[in-house]
Amino acid sequence: MGRAMPSNSMFEVKICGIKDLGAMNAALTAGADLVGLVFFPPSPRAVTPLGGADLAAAARGRAMVTALVVDADDTLLRDIMARVNPDLLQLHGAETPERVKAIRECFGKPVMKAIAVSTAADLKQLAAYEAVADRILYDARPPKGADRPGGHGRPFDWNLLSAVSHKKPVMLSGGLNPENVADAIRIVRPDAVDVSSGVEDTPGVKNAAKIKAFVQNARAAAEKYLREKVS
């Protein structure tokens, strides 16, 4: 079984964009709490529901399997559910709050909604999504003309989140890597962090040493800064 929803005393690390068993084993060995499979063909990290089934099987019982989709229709979601049976759905497109609610109710899985951030105005939609999602993920808004919403290795201004109050667990993504994850945690104090390109050698090719360093650095920072959050 996957971990329960995070609390102030539990911090989680997610390795996303896993597309082969070598990367999956590296993430699991490093102690990742969540592993992300991308079901969006424009991404260099994309897998099919059939390929994702083998990866999910390797992680089952060791980490929470997250299925990342972008404006997916019900046909794709049904295929993912049947083959992969993820623990968590990550909606990373332009899904409306109504669509988020419908997916959660239809498929009976916890849902994490990604919000793209570049300015404070992007946070105005937070309340509407918190009302229907189980978790919120903040990612950097993609560059103009990009063919995918995430995985570009670009951070946003984390200080935009420093004074935001949340009702649901928060995962921070967008340009994180082993070198900057501690600063990100110090500023945002999230419940979880998420990395993809920041632990790669080339797009889609994960580096086991970078994964290990990211998990270790994130946990050390969480122990230091999140203790202050609850004290």
The domain that holds 111 is classified in CATH as 3.20.20.70
Q: Which two tokens stand for residue 44?
A: 């260099």
Q: CB–CB of 198/177 below 8 Å?
A: yes
The tens digit of pLDDT for each residue in 123-162 reads: 999 999 999 999 999 999 875 654 545 444 578 999 999 8
Q: Is residue 1 part of a domain?
A: no
Q: Is residue 81 part of a domain?
A: yes
Supply φ then ψ for residue 146, to 5 degrees. Answer: -65, 150
Assign residue 17 a region (left: φ > 0; alpha: ψ between -120 and 50; beta: otherwise): left
CA of 180: how far to CAs of 164, 175, 176, in Å? 21, 9, 6
Neighbouring-strand partners of residue 111: 89
Supply φ then ψ for residue 18, to 5 degrees. Answer: -80, 130
The tens digit of pLDDT for each residue in 206-226 reads: 999 999 999 999 999 999 987
The one catalytic residue among 87, 139, 191, 194: 139
Tell the burial category of 98 from Cβ atoms under 10 Å away from its Cβ (0-12, 13-18, 19+). exposed
The tens digit of pLDDT for each residue in 191-202 reads: 999 999 999 999
50/61 Cα distance (integer angstroms)? 19
16 is catalytic: yes
Q: Helix (H) and strand (E) counts for the chain?
A: 7, 10
The tens digit of pLDDT for each residue in 153-171 reads: 578 999 999 889 999 999 9
Q: Is residue 105 part of a domain?
A: yes
What lies within 8 Å, CB to CB, of 109 at 6+ separation is 81, 86, 87, 88, 89
The one catalytic residue among 16, 87, 191, 194: 16
Amino acid in position 203: P
What lies within 8 Å, CB to CB, of 183 at 6+ separation is 158
Q: Which two tokens stand for residue 179?
A: 């070198």
Residue 224 CB coordination number (10 Å): 12
Domain count, the chain: 1
The tens digit of pLDDT for each residue in 177-192 reads: 999 999 999 999 999 9
Residue in the structure block whose two tokens are 């994964």:
211
Q: CB–CB of 136/110 below 8 Å?
A: no
The tens digit of pLDDT for each residue in 64-94 reads: 999 999 999 999 999 999 999 999 999 999 9
Q: Is residue 56 part of a domain?
A: yes
Domain boundaries, position 58: 12-230
Q: Is residue 82 part of a domain?
A: yes
139 is catalytic: yes
Q: Is residue 2 part of a domain?
A: no
